[in-house]
Structure 1
Amino acid sequence: MLFIIILLSLISVISGFLMLWKVPLAIKSAGKVSVKKTVSIIIPARNEENRLSVLLASLNNQSYKPVEVIVVDDESSDRTIVVAQQQGAKIIRKQKSDDWTGKSAACWKGAKEAKGDWLLFLDADTFFENRTSLEQLLATYQSVDAIGILSFQPFHKITKLYENLSAVFNIILMAGMNVFTPLGTQVKTAGSFGPCILCDKEEYFIVGGHKAIKGAIMDDLALGEKFMENNFLVRCYGGRGLIQFQMYPEGIKQLVEGWTKSFGTAAQSTHPIVTGLISLWISGAFFTIGSLIVALLSNDASLVILTSLFCVTYAVQFYWLACRFGQFSLLILFGYPLFFLFFIGLFIWSLFLTKVLHRVTWSGRKLEV
């Protein structure tokens, strides 16, 4: 039994390191690469008055000025348009009569109006961390020959206690993109990160843009797939030190809806090798705590010490991985089994909605999947 405990615990911890072996970040000094192109920033927005102002303020403070900032209002019922106007953004309104709704439709409408050489799609809940963030982002794209998609997953800013429930989801989301293992780009990426996507405008229209994926629930994965089908590269980077977002600040209901929409659909895009690593790592959360419970019941002091050591090791790794992608609380370090139970329960619910009912809810709309 001792050998099995050691072996399985080691496998789960090693799997955690392998699935997120290396996550590239934006270049730190934008001055190393000259940005030779202009950029249009496109922000799809639906009832985003509370978050949009933060993003627009950060854009207005950038050292590099875009050609334009376009806010595409997606039938908002709040002050989204007013906030955008106050910050000097160009407003495009989607109409209820349009036969195509949602984020992809808003992105497409904005792209058709854009004047820049490059298109930067930003979710309304994102914001740049410092004054040179936009320049760093564009310079990073220029440094990789400005081909295909460069996408960043923003660093998760935590302001409310319940938001820590996203810890496991953030880790699995990053790992599920396939490209952060020691195999790197030898494994095909699952797509792109939706909150921050930069691409060349000409290439965007060559692949058909968001119009070519109008039926997709996970538009970020689908857009990346469309670029790859046309032999354009898709690169995925971590946003730490560059761009942040606050996920689902309106409450736990929004958090549940958001992750439910994402995970049941996205899971099928993860490579089998990466899926295996993720599964082994997740199983470690339950194996380590289960082994400790068995050891306590057996009254074997040496076994209790050993299993306690593995629980601490796993918890520290979980916290370290989470903090690579967000400002998570120490709470997740001490209560990690509960966070994994929440993840498993919500993942099963997501599969039920997407694979059985074929329907999810997001932003007040019923979406068929």
Structure 2
Amino acid sequence: MIIVGAMMVLGLAASWILFYRFPGLERGDPQDRGNQIPRLSIIIPARNEEENLALLLGDLKKQAHDIHEIICVDDGSTDQTNRIATALGARLITAAPKPAGWLGKSWACQQGGEAATGTLLLFLDADVRLSPAGIGKLLKAHQKTGRVISVMPFHQIESKTESLSLFFNCIQMGANGLGLPVGRDQKKQEQKNQKRKNQKQKIHKSRHPYQIGLYGPVIMISRTDYQAVGGHAAIKGSIVDDMAMGEKLRAKDIPFALFLGDHDVSYRMYRGGLRELIQGWTKNQAAGVAKTPLLMLVLVFFWITAVASAPFYLVLNLIWQQWLGAGLMAACYGIWVLELTRIARHIGSFSVISIIFYPLLLLFYLLIFLRSLVKKILGRPVIWKDREIRLAK
């Protein structure tokens, strides 16, 4: 019982570190327009996204800030994606045949980036949703930090199947260092940078050492920085392209800032059902672990172990009729339900019922992670968007 108790304490400590803060986007001022705002080119890679694309383009028409151009790159769609793009005012680019060594999304983004004429590029996945204030919030963050901006959108849950993404979303946030405490030195540097910006002096760039990658659904980057890292051509074969882009930025000493979305920047993932959800998460899990820093892996390990241990030992104590132990584990279970509720409300609209039954969601996560790991080790392919993607060993 002492060992289990120590495990719980370590897990809660890891949770406090991984999910210490939830950095959100500040609301932009609609009056901050004109010459102060760089020309914004929005690039949307789309493959069979007729439903999502119609919603996103409708959102972009309602923005409070001006958009220089919207480019939709049709990546070999077999549905009405191209027709919807042109009907709703986007500039349509039909992707050329994908060269050897490229993955589809990176190839589509590269073509969109080359065709864009704006000084600021915003890459959006088709399933992203934006309130009228969404673009303004992204521009505000870019102007305030002077960095590449990437956002993990708020996950809108609309079916029980989609609730299975809970632990995937939590680990997306935690393992990438998004919620880590900001060090005193970094706070001081950011305050100095704000003063320098107000006085129009050179800004000293800083970055968090454990934030490795970006979040693929929303990436705002200046054309200069995009070209400096070689665009998507530099990560053409990377399955987790957002993590790879973060590595390229770090290698060039170009800092980036990560944020959580809210109802102004959200998405609905894998609306196609269980099969699509399994394929999507299988594609990313094992490849993402390989790029995660050791410290973050250790913290995530302690976190998951503690979260899993509470229901596991609760059941064992009930079977063994160890009522004191069962009571203690029931209390630990309740603590984890509260802690997961604290985290989940910032990352998605997960229901309280789904969190109460979190052992089922955790089991699903572990099975998908194991599936992804086996496919990676054996070099077996994953099917995504009707394409075969082979996970590198």
Q: What residue number does 1:356 align with?
A: 378
* CA–CA distance in structure 2, aligned partners of residues 32 and 57 of structure 1: 22
Is structure 2 residue 126 aligned with structure 1 residue 124?
A: yes
295-304 or 346-355: bigger deviation: 295-304
Deviation at 1:187, TM superposition (A): 2.5
106-115 or 324-333: bigger deviation: 324-333
Deviation at 1:28, TM superposition (A): 2.3
Is structure 2 residue 235 aligned with structure 1 residue 213?
A: yes
Structure 1 unaligned blocks of 5 or more? none
Deviation at 1:215, TM superposition (A): 1.3
Q: Which amino acid aligns with 2:90?
A: A
User: Are the counterparts in 2 of residues 33 and 142 from structure 1 also a CA contact under 8 Å?
Assistant: no
Q: Which amino acid aligns with 1:8?
A: M
User: Are the counterparts in 2 of residues 40 and 116 from structure 1 also a CA contact under 8 Å?
Assistant: yes
60-69 or 11-20: bigger deviation: 11-20
Give the TM-score taking structure 1 as reference length: 0.94
Deviation at 1:300, TM superposition (A): 4.1
Residues 275/101 of structure 1: CA separation in 2 closer, same or farther (3 Å cut): closer
Q: What residue number does 2:116 align with?
A: 114
Report matched runs for 1:1-369 at 5 Å. 1=1, 3-30=2-29, 35-96=36-97, 100=102, 102-128=104-130, 130-145=131-146, 147=147, 149-182=148-181, 185-368=207-390, 369=392
- Aligned pair count? 365
Q: What residue number does 2:192 align with?
A: none
User: Are the counterparts in 2 of residues 178 and 270 from structure 1 also a CA contact under 8 Å?
Assistant: no
Q: Which amino acid aligns with 1:61?
A: K
Deviation at 1:97, TM superposition (A): 6.8
33-42 or 12-21: bigger deviation: 33-42
3-state secondary structure, aligned to 1:115: coil
* CA–CA distance in structure 1, aligned partners of residues 31 and 175 of structure 2: 31
Deviation at 1:22, TM superposition (A): 1.5
Deviation at 1:6, TM superposition (A): 2.9
3-state secondary structure, aligned to 2:347: coil
Residues 276/33 of structure 1: CA separation in 2 closer, same or farther (3 Å cut): farther
* Two-structure CA RMSD over aligned residues (Å): 1.8
Deviation at 1:174, TM superposition (A): 0.7
Deviation at 1:355, TM superposition (A): 2.4
3-state secondary structure, aligned to 1:232: coil
User: Are the counterparts in 1 of residues 132 and 264 from structure 2 also a CA contact under 8 Å?
Assistant: no
For residues 207-246 of structure 1, give each alpha carbon's deviation from its aligned partner in whole angstroms, at most 9, with x where no partner exists.
Answer: 1100111111111111121111111012211112431111
Residues 63/136 of structure 1: CA separation in 2 closer, same or farther (3 Å cut): same
For residues 231-273 of structure 1, give each alpha carbon's deviation from its aligned partner in whole angstroms, at most 9, with x where no partner exists.
Answer: 1012211112431111111111110110011111011121211
Residues 213/186 of structure 1: CA separation in 2 closer, same or farther (3 Å cut): closer
3-state secondary structure, aligned to 1:77: coil
* CA–CA distance in structure 2, aligned partners of residues 299 and 222 of structure 1: 50
Residues 186/235 of structure 1: CA separation in 2 closer, same or farther (3 Å cut): closer
User: Are the counterparts in 2 of residues 179 and 187 from structure 1 also a CA contact under 8 Å?
Assistant: no
Q: Which amino acid aligns with 1:60?
A: K
Q: Which amino acid aligns with 2:256?
A: V
For residues 245-304 of structure 1, give each alpha carbon's deviation from its aligned partner in whole angstroms, at most 9, with x where no partner exists.
Answer: 111111111101100111110111212111111111111122111222233234344333
Deviation at 1:352, TM superposition (A): 1.0
* CA–CA distance in structure 2, aligned partners of residues 40 and 140 of structure 1: 17
Give the TM-score taking structure 2 as reference length: 0.88
* CA–CA distance in structure 2, aligned partners of residues 140 and 93 of structure 1: 31
For residues 95-132 of structure 1, give each alpha carbon's deviation from its aligned partner in whole angstroms, at most 9, with x where no partner exists.
Answer: 3375545011111101111111100000001010x212
User: Are the counterparts in 2 of residues 285 and 336 from structure 1 also a CA contact under 8 Å?
Assistant: no
Deviation at 1:182, TM superposition (A): 2.4
> Percent sequence identity over matched residues?
31
3-state secondary structure, aligned to 2:70: strand
3-state secondary structure, aligned to 1:40: strand
3-state secondary structure, aligned to 1:30: coil
